[in-house]
Amino acid sequence: MSKEITSREEDYAQWYNDLVIKGGLAENAAVRGCMVIKPYGFGLWENMRDQLDRMFKETGHVNAYFPLFIPKSFLSKEAAHVEGFAKECAVVTHYRLKNDPNGKGVVVDPEAKLEEELIIRPTSETIIWNTYKDWIQSYRDLPLLINQWANVVRWEMRTRLFLRTAEFLWQEGHTAHATRDEAIEEARKMLDVYADFVENFMALPVIKGVKTPSERFAGAEDTYCIEALMQDGKALQAGTSHFLGQNFAKAFDVKFLTRENKQEFVWATSWGVSTRLVGALVMAHSDDQGLILPPKIAPLQVVIVPIFKGDEQRGFIENAVLPIIKGLKELGITVKFDDSDNARPGWKFAEYEMKGVPVRIAIGQRDIENNVVEVARRDTKEKISVSMNGLPYYIKTLLDEIQQHMYNKALAYRDAHITSVDTWADFEEVLDNKGGFISAHWDGSAETEEAIKEKTKATIRCIPLQSIEEKGVCILTGKPSSQRVLFARAY
């Protein structure tokens, strides 16, 4: 298979697809709109998942698992929720197949129709809150801090690997609280956890904000989000945390006995991130030669490629490299010694460059005699000759430098692509010629928000949490506005 990939300038969408497939992350499945996550891609997701799981547990959350199938009647109990997800639901109507009497394979057995149709989980609020009704009796049962790692199905018509697929992997937190303030504090806390992870492990800066009413999660009173910027100037929602108020508690009659011996409905949150983060990682950092992965979550952090002729040289190099490998592993660094003889070193260099391995070490017999190795950084492509003495510690420091450099580069790009505008003409000009986030005044109405979206395909990504009050006029209607919001075209 050719390793050539389409350039970003030529076709950004194809560039992305090439990287995901040729970088060994995923491929399209036999089922339309679904994907097969390959071992390298799943290793990346596992590293992301495991770190997030540690962060969730550090904030007091525990994992559980709830059914994949949700009775259709559950979805209809919360009106806004069912309206938001109805068009994406996959429905199970029968439970058995039988041989086709005409000899054409198998057919659905019409006598095996379910009494109640089941929805394949698009999100779990309804099945979980139906369960919480039995788990919560008094204030002593609160707060209830549950997270679930699962797959979900949303029947998307236009799909793209990792970014939007009919089935994807995610986590969903669902918590119950005694007071409104506690629930809001939880939603904000988990947003901070997401921002911490994306910035410090994915090396991707984000803007924390709150969604407009039109963009809220179906059934939420407020949706908090983190927004990131991709290299083509489009935004990507990287995570959301929802304050659900008492909507689901009322829909499923989840009450608790307060300290004052009164019955009250509990307050709720939900929050989640998905394998979409892998897509964000690819689009934010990579180049025309392949993936560039942050060291903290790369499946493989260091690869050592020996340069040898014959088994004797290979054995000599291997003996010299073993202490280095041992030292790297003792420092918690994942390393591979690729001494396979079915490909030339140059092909291996290109292969690991395509896969985004942060550090590559090349070593030959002459290098060993000189007590040096060649170290190549994936992020800058810089190569340097380094002493073998203390090499593991040098590599550990270098990995930290790469992680920080990747974040700084992405931050500089993001900051250079936040533009304040005050007129409609400037808004359109920046949107079409520069892209990125546009900070502009909006009159606060859903009608204006929709009109801007129809005219430009730009949406209000968020109202930044750090925004300050600033009097102005709406870029479209000229009506008064009290603060700027962030617009962008988005994935």
The pLDDT assigned to 138 comes to 98
pLDDT value for 1: 37
Q: How confident is the model at residue 3 (pLDDT cuts 50, 70, 90)?
A: low
Q: Which domains are delineated in the chain?
A: 12-67+122-285 (3.30.930.10), 302-398 (3.40.50.800), 418-488 (3.30.110.30)
**pLDDT at residue number 103:** 84
Q: List pLDDT tens digits, range 227-266.
A: 999 999 999 999 999 999 999 999 999 999 999 999 999 9
| Region of 103 on the Ramachandran plot (φ > 0 left; ψ -120 to 50 alpha; else beta) | left
- Classify residue 253 as exposed, middle or buried by CB count within 10 Å of its CB (0-12, 13-18, 19+): exposed
Structure tokens at 376: 């190549």
Amino acid (one-letter) located at 274? S
User: Has residue 79 got a pLDDT over 80?
Assistant: no
Q: Is the pLDDT of residue 2 over 60?
A: no
Report the predicted TM-score, pTM, of the whole model to 2 decimal places.
0.95
Q: How does DSSP classify residue 191?
A: H
pLDDT exceeds 90 at position 393 = yes
Give me the mean pLDDT over the 3-11 stretch: 91
**213: DSSP letter:** G
Q: What tens digit of pLDDT does each residue of 163-176 get?
A: 999 999 999 999 99
- The tens digit of pLDDT for each residue in 8-38 reads 999 999 999 999 999 999 999 999 999 999 9
Residue 296 to residue 400: CA distance in whole angstroms? 8
Confidence of residue 119 (pLDDT cuts 50, 70, 90): very high
**Average pLDDT for the chain:** 96
> CA–CA separation, 303 vs 235, rounded Å?
33
Question: Averaged over 115-120, what is the pLDDT?
Answer: 97
Burial class (CB in 10 A: 0-12, 13-18, 19+), 462: buried
pLDDT, tens only, 402-445: 999 999 999 999 999 999 999 999 999 999 999 999 999 999 99
- pLDDT score at 240: 98
123 CB-near residues (< 8 Å, 6+ apart): 85, 152, 172, 270, 272
* Residue 126 CA: distances (Å) to CA of 26, 66, 67, 75, 252: 31, 11, 11, 6, 8
Mean pLDDT, residues 176-202 taken together: 98
Q: Indicate whether 377 pLDDT > 80.
A: yes
What are 267-321's pLDDT values in tens digits? 999 999 999 999 999 999 999 999 999 999 999 999 999 999 998 999 999 999 9
pLDDT tens digits along 33-52: 999 999 999 999 999 999 99
Cβ neighbours for 381, distance < 8 A, ≥ 6 positions apart:
none
